[in-house]
């Protein structure tokens, strides 16, 4: 099987750039189209107009107004600006932050780093489905709470948190509420006004734009406006200095527009792919289970545990035919089991028998079926070899 025949099922890590998105950005790289959007000449002004159109497209995807969208290099930078920026703001309420045990590492590590500055950081546990206890979250809020940050959709198990409920609690206390929506945007309906979110992080390469572009939504009525994390210019409302890459901004705008128009169709398609994949795999393993299956989840997200099957060996056995992963791409190379899987109660052995599979717009039913057969057969072989080894020992 060649590279062109390989089946890519790691869409949580990154998505292939949609050809229509690629076509939208190319003119911004060519002679006659290139320009620094902060320059005053005609080329710069053309680029600036293209960036503003993209800003409007992204705002429309999440129900914001364009002035509330700030371009970043990706969701990791957006999360850092949100957390460190609010923690460093002169008008913040206090020195207490609440977040969740299953957050992406760039949120968890950033929040926990505030302890070095004297902040008190509470990390909420989750139940077996990966959901936070909203009542427990409310009980942690004090007069010192400066920020609450809970992701919209988990990057490993796809579980959707009760964002509107959390936002309502935060609003009642006048506390900024931040959510990392990198995995959710473009896959489920998002309305920042209806949900009451104050700050939201977005990623281009999760919605079929290239890697290297993201955005941060900051509501006009956010209780505390983040301070810039680094200095060097007044671009992006003074919150994110540096030259905006017009071609990448345009790509993310085009991707947001496509995602908004295809939201229902993409969700239905990915749900069918996941269901068909499980129909093929699950009958072979009576003890296999889907993590977060009882909670609301993203349509194309699948975290599958097959006890007794080493996930690293399984992923390796599928190369170069099928691309899946064992955990978040940002955790690649780590020895420990996923912190997300540990947080939902999986033991070390089951956590290391778990693979993450992400279905996307470009995948077909035939690919889902083929990948399922390949995974099933490889897992059966690995399990059989393990049983033989144990018997021989």
**Could you state, in order of their start, the residue ranges of all structural domains in the chain?**
3-15+263-392, 19-257
Residue 330 appears among annotated catalytic residues:
yes
Sheet holding 199-203, edge to edge: 69-72, 214-218, 199-203, 177-180, 145-149, 96-100, 120-124
Q: Is the pTM of this model over 0.85?
A: yes
Q: Give me the pLDDT at residue 49, please.
A: 96
Q: Give me the pLDDT at residue 393, please.
A: 53
163 with 134: CB under 8 angstroms? no
Of 181, 312, 324, nearest to 256 by C-alpha is: 181
Of 168, 208, 380, nearest to 300 by C-alpha is: 208
Q: Give me the pLDDT at residue 89, please.
A: 96
Tell me how long the chain is: 393
8 in helix, strand or coil? strand
**Residue-level pLDDT, tens digit, the chain, 393 residues:** 445 689 999 999 999 999 999 999 999 999 888 999 999 999 999 999 999 999 999 999 999 999 999 999 999 999 999 999 999 999 899 999 999 999 999 999 999 999 999 999 999 999 999 999 999 999 999 999 999 999 999 999 999 999 999 999 999 999 999 999 999 999 999 999 999 999 999 999 999 999 999 999 999 999 999 999 988 877 888 889 899 999 999 999 999 999 999 999 999 999 999 999 999 999 999 999 999 999 999 999 999 999 999 999 999 999 999 999 997 555 555 557 899 999 999 999 999 999 999 999 999 999 999 999 999 999 999 998 865 665 555
- The first and second tokens of residue 61, run together, are 């995807």
Name 266's Cβ contacts closer than 8 Å, sequence gap at least 6. Answer: 186, 187, 259, 299, 361
138 in helix, strand or coil? helix
Cα separation, 213 vs 201, whole angstroms: 11
Residue 162: how many other CB atoms lie within 10 Å:
16
- The first and second tokens of residue 344, run together, are 């939902």
Examine domains 3-15+263-392 and 19-257 and report if their fold is the same: no
Q: Give me the pLDDT at residue 327, please.
A: 74
288 with 90: CB under 8 angstroms? no
Cα separation, 324 vs 257, whole angstroms: 27
Q: Give me the pLDDT at residue 1, please.
A: 45
249 with 83: CB under 8 angstroms? no
Q: Which residues pair with 356 in a beta bridge?
A: 303, 325
Q: Give me the pLDDT at residue 87, please.
A: 97
3-15+263-392: CATH topology: 3.90.1150
19-257: CATH topology: 3.40.640
């Amino acid at each position: 099987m060649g590279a062109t025949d390989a089946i890519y099922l790691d869409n949580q890590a990154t998505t292939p750039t949609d050809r229509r998105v690629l076509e939208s950005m190319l003119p911004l790289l060519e002679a006659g189209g290139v320009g620094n959007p902060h320059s005053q000449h005609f080329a710069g002004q053309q680029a600036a107009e293209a960036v503003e159109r993209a800003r409007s497209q992204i705002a429309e995807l999440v129900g914001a107004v364009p002035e509330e969208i700030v371009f970043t290099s990706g969701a990791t930078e957006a999360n850092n600006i949100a957390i460190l920026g609010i923690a460093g703001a002169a008008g913040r309420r206090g020195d207490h932050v609440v977040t969740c045990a299953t957050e992406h590492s760039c949120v968890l590590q950033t929040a926990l780093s505030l302890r070095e500055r004297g902040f008190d950081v509470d990390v909420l546990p989750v139940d077996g489905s990966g959901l936070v206890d909203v009542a427990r979250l409310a009980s942690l809020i004090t007069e010192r709470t400066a920020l609450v940050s809970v992701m919209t959709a988990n990057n490993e198990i796809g579980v959707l948190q009760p964002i509107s409920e959390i936002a309502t609690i935060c609003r009642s206390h006048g506390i900024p509420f931040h959510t990392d929506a990198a995995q959710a945007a473009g896959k489920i309906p998002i309305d920042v006004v209806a949900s009451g979110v104050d700050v939201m992080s977005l990623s281009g390469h999760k919605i079929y734009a290239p890697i290297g572009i993201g955005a941060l939504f900051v509501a006009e009525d956010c209780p505390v406006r983040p301070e810039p994390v680094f200095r060097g210019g007044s671009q992006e409302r003074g919150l994110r200095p540096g030259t905006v890459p017009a071609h990448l901004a345009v790509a993310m705008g085009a991707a947001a527009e496509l995602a908004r128009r295809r939201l229902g169709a993409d969700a239905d398609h990915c749900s069918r792919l996941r269901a068909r994949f499980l129909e093929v795999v699950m009958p072979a393993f009576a003890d296999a289970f889907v993590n977060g299956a009882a909670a609301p989840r993203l349509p194309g997200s699948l975290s599958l545990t097959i006890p007794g099957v080493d996930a690293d060996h399984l992923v390796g056995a599928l190369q170069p035919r099928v691309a899946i992963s064992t955990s978040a791409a940002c955790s690649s190379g780590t020895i420990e089991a996923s912190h997300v899987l540990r947080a939902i109660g999986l033991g070390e052995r089951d956590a290391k028998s778990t693979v993450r599979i992400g279905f996307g717009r470009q995948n077909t039913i035939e690919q889902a079926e083929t990948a399922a057969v390949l995974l099933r057969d490889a897992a059966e072989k690995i399990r059989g070899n393990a049983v033989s080894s144990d018997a021989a020992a």
